[in-house]
Amino acid sequence: MKYFFYLLSAAVLISACGSSNNKTGIPDAGEVIPVRLLPVSSDTSAGSIEASGLLSTENQARLSFKIGGVIDAILVKEGQFVRQGQVLATLKSTEISAQVQQVELALEKAKRDYLRASNLYKDSVATLEQLQNSKTGVDIATQNLQQVNFNAQYARITAPADGFIVKKIANAGELAGPGTPVLFMSSVSGSSKWILRTGVSDKEWAAAEAGNAASVTFDAFPGKTFSAIVSKKALAADEQSGSFGLELQVDFGKEQPALGLFGKAQIHTSGKSIGFSVPYEALLEANGKNGYVFVSDDRKTVKRIAVIISSITNNTVYIASGLEGHQWVVSAGSPYLAEGSAIKVIQ
C-alpha cells in the first residue's frame, strides 16, 4: 500500500512539473513556432549617416590683448550675452600709462632740440645736418607716441559683435602675454548662422559632401525636427578623438536656440548606396555596426545570419550588407527561434 501511494505521489509531482513548464510559454524543441515574415527589399536610404554634436555659431573668436600685462579685471562671465563694443577685460594701466608719459616727454625734448637747432642754423652756428637730425628726432618721437597710444587702446578687450561668452580662459591677476587668448566668444549677430559641429568616421566623412541635406533633432525642442545642410568638411582629423569634423548649418526658423545644445543629425548623402531596411524588432542583437537577424528562404525554417548595420533611425534598421540572396526576414517571434527552427507564418 505504501508503495502504491509513493507511485501516486510521484505521478502527481511529474504532472505538476509538466504543467509548470507549459505555463512559461517557451516552445518545446521541434515545435513549429509562429512568426511574421517581411520580404527582403533593397533600400537606397541606407546611405545616410548618423552624427551628433554641440550647437555653436559660425563666427567664433579667441579674444586677447595686443600687449602683455597683468589682467586688471574680467568684466563678464561664461554664458553671458554681450553687445558689440562692450568692454570685456582690461589690463592694469600703471605700466602702460608710464610708457605713454615717457614717450610724451621724449617728444617734448625732441621739439625743443629742433627749435634750438633751427635758431642756431639761422645764426649760422648749427649745420644743416644738425638741423635735419633734430627734425628726424621729432618725427621719430611723434611716431613712438602714436604707437604707444595705439597699444594703450588695446590694453582692454571689447566685443567685436553681439554674442555670448563661451569660455573664460584667464582670470584677474594673471599675467597675459601679447596675443594670448583670454576669452572665447561666439557671435550671434543677424548675419551669423547656427552650426552643429559633429565628428564622424573616415568612411562617413568620405561619403558626405558639402550641400548634403540633413535632419536635426534637439532634446530642448521635443517632437521637432529641423532641416540642415552640410556646410563644411574638416581637412584633418581631430588630434584627441581621431574623428573627422562635419559642420551642419541648421535652420531654426522662428525658434531661438542656445549655445551648447546637444543635437542628433541624420545626414542624407548624395551618393546613395544600396542596402536594406528592416523593422527594429527584427534585430536580435547589435554590437557597434555588427548585428544578427533571422531569415527564411522557404517559409518553413529559419537561419541566423550576421549583418552589417548602416544606421538606426526611430523604428527602422538600415542594413548595409548581409541580407543579399535571402527572401524573408523574421519581424516577430524571433525570441523563440534557434538555428533551423521550424516556423509557421502568421499575418
Domain boundaries, given as residue ranges, for the chain: 28-47+273-345, 60-92+155-187, 94-153
CATH among 3.20.20.140, 3.40.50.300, 3.90.1150.10, 2.40.50.100 for 60-92+155-187: 2.40.50.100
Residues linked to residue 158 through DSSP beta bridges, in sequence order? 87
Instruction: Tell me the pTM.
Output: 0.46
Which pLDDT tens digit goes with each residue over 85-130? 899 999 988 878 888 889 999 999 999 989 998 988 888 888 889 8
CB atoms within 10 A of CB 313: 15
Fold adopted by 94-153: Helix Hairpins (1.10.287)
Which pLDDT tens digit goes with each residue over 169-226? 888 888 888 888 999 887 765 556 888 999 988 878 888 888 888 999 999 999 899 9
Buried b (16+ CB within 10 A) or exposed e, 16-38: eeeeeeeeeeebeeeeebebbbe
Q: Is 101 exposed, middle or buried (0-12, 13-18, 19+ CB in 10 A)?
A: exposed
- The mean pLDDT value for 135-141 works out to 91
Confidence label for 227 from pLDDT (cuts 50, 70 and 90):
very high
Tell me the C-alpha distance between 271 and 24, whole Å. Answer: 49
Q: Judging by DSSP bridges, how do beta strands 33-39 and 343-345 pair with one another?
A: parallel
Give 93's contacts (C-beta < 8 A, 6+ positions apart).
Answer: 72, 152, 155
Give 31's contacts (C-beta < 8 A, 6+ positions apart).
Answer: 342
Which pLDDT tens digit goes with each residue over 249-282? 999 888 888 778 899 998 887 655 557 778 888 8
pLDDT of residue 217: 93
CATH among 2.40.420.20, 3.40.50.300, 3.30.360.10, 3.40.50.2300 for 28-47+273-345: 2.40.420.20
CB atoms within 10 A of CB 137: 18
pLDDT at 19 over 70: no
